[in-house]
Structure 1
């Protein structure tokens, strides 16, 4: 009713009509989706520069610095190898278990850390959000790009592990690039979902470690999926094959591990189809979901 009241007695125009006449907009108004995407693209240089700065600053106070980008996944892989490879003797069920395990750990940690850190993408940057006007989607994208840069460092180490454990270099190695591209798009969408949820439910970051640990055990990182299938009904086993981290892990193993080819959870064609499906569904769906909450971010 207030917008329809006469704001200018001389012209007889309401406030809404005056705003339209002079091109005024509501502060914090959510732009149309296409316009929002265009604005976000215009900030691409800021996003890449900000992500590089975040990587440089995140480990600047440690003595080993950016070496932790490699040491962290290696340490995780060593712990998992001790428990699942030696104590539980899963190496007997998997050819070249060390390379198999490291590939799974490195790829899964990319999704795990992006999704977990995304829960604080909004609340951890409230000062910037309230001081500057920019598409808020730049923040979860930055979170994912930070993790991508750390993953690329880890890939150098993973390649060395694969070669040292006896795997040959094949033409399939080039397929690792599109695999990581699909996973990055998926992670961006997933991070946008957790960023919006985390902006309202601040306790989500406390719950995420339990969610991601459960996801880890269901993603064929530590042992063959065949062992899980034995304890599941047929319909649940079929759903398990659609698990996004499992799909990307198997695509990476298909690219790097010649010894794993007979043990793929699905055919390569099906894995690529599922990888593309999840990248499109989560990438587009997560972006739309985050955009719909644009005007809420940074407000009490």
Structure 2
């Protein structure tokens, strides 16, 4: 900008700078630009996830294949690991501590094997979820995709692993006298609800683990405590017989115990409805929906922060 002074000379002065932030925002809006990495709306986020469904499935299958690629027995470890755990627990709790508490040998062994396999499904989903972001920072920083794809794919990987392992569960159950019946159809809704519950937990710990990687070191101790209070090796109903009713109901409301007991009820002839808490299906549905929905929203709220800092 120029102006003439009183002595006839021309002075040039700079115009005041425009408000740069405002000008940049107006320019971006005019050309349809948006902030890089900004969190989309919840509905848009769900739409993006659905668009990545093939990636989620393929990623889970690749992880499952690679999990034991360095081991000589390969995929057999998917079945051997929980079976070996069940054998150890049977020796300690079944033979030494007599935790069967009134259950016959033909009921207790399928009871224990089912509990170990079903709890391992939840345990593995959480352990995979806690490292879903922190353990894949290269992928998170290199590509743009909804980050919830990672914990969901890890939960799907554990579901596929359980489906392979269920062949052994069926063999053990049949071997001890519980043959296929209509109650086995209950396996489908039980696994569906447990998968939703596990995925919700995986989303929660994935966000927590992204901020605090040390959580992965603490999680095994938390899960071990949870296992010992969930009735994996013993029946809560029988072990606490004669104790205060509210204590029994509180432990039976534990979601891990609920999904294990429903699976045992479906598979084992000698494990009747008297071992289940009241309104067990309502509680199973509540835990699945509440944890999945809450975990999904909790993870989505930090979407723009994953892989940064």
TM-score of the aligned structures, taking structure 1 as reference length: 0.93
Q: Which runs of 5+ in 2 are unaligned?
A: 1-17
Q: Which runs of 5+ in 1 are unaligned?
A: none
For 1:81-92, what aligned pairs fall within 5 Å after superposition? 81-92=90-101
CA RMSD across the alignment: 1.6
8 Å CA contact 2:178, 2:269 repeated in 1: yes
For 1:3-82, what aligned pairs fall within 5 Å after superposition? 6-7=19-20, 14-82=23-91
For 1:208-219, what aligned pairs fall within 5 Å after superposition? 208-219=219-230
| In 2, Cα distance between equivalents of 1:231 and 1:200 | 45
Listed one character per residue, the Cα deviations across residues 60-91 of structure 1 (whole Å, up to 9, x for unaligned) are 11100000000011001000000001111223
- Counterpart of 1:245 in structure 2 is 256
Listed one character per residue, the Cα deviations across residues 41-67 of structure 1 (whole Å, up to 9, x for unaligned) are 100000000110111111111100000
- Counterpart of 1:153 in structure 2 is 164
| In 1, Cα distance between equivalents of 2:149 and 2:99 | 42
- Counterpart of 1:139 in structure 2 is 150
- Counterpart of 1:112 in structure 2 is 123
Count of residues in Structure 1 that have an aligned counterpart in Structure 2: 290
| In 1, Cα distance between equivalents of 2:25 and 2:240 | 61
For 1:143-292, what aligned pairs fall within 5 Å after superposition? 143-226=154-237, 229=240, 233-267=244-278, 270-292=279-301
Question: What displacement does 1:168 show?
Answer: 2.5
Listed one character per residue, the Cα deviations across residues 113-167 of structure 1 (whole Å, up to 9, x for unaligned) are 1111211110110000100000000000111011111100111110010000011
8 Å CA contact 2:253, 2:277 repeated in 1: no
TM-score of the aligned structures, taking structure 2 as reference length: 0.90
8 Å CA contact 1:218, 1:240 repeated in 2: yes
8 Å CA contact 1:77, 1:102 repeated in 2: yes
Listed one character per residue, the Cα deviations across residues 209-252 of structure 1 (whole Å, up to 9, x for unaligned) are 11101110111110110355359654343322221111100110
| In 1, Cα distance between equivalents of 2:102 and 2:230 | 16
| In 1, Cα distance between equivalents of 2:239 and 2:51 | 46
Where 2:270 maps in the other structure, the secondary structure is helix
| In 1, Cα distance between equivalents of 2:298 and 2:54 | 24
8 Å CA contact 2:237, 2:248 repeated in 1: no
Question: What displacement does 1:265 show?
Answer: 2.9
Where 1:298 maps in the other structure, the secondary structure is coil
| In 2, Cα distance between equivalents of 1:114 and 1:232 | 33
Where 1:290 maps in the other structure, the secondary structure is helix
| In 1, Cα distance between equivalents of 2:166 and 2:275 | 21
8 Å CA contact 2:129, 2:206 repeated in 1: yes
- Counterpart of 1:100 in structure 2 is 111
| In 2, Cα distance between equivalents of 1:74 and 1:28 | 44
| In 2, Cα distance between equivalents of 1:93 and 1:273 | 28
| In 2, Cα distance between equivalents of 1:113 and 1:54 | 13
| In 2, Cα distance between equivalents of 1:65 and 1:246 | 31
8 Å CA contact 2:197, 2:292 repeated in 1: yes
Q: Which structure has the bigger radius of gyration?
A: 2
Q: 1:231 to 1:205 in 2, by over 3 A?
A: farther
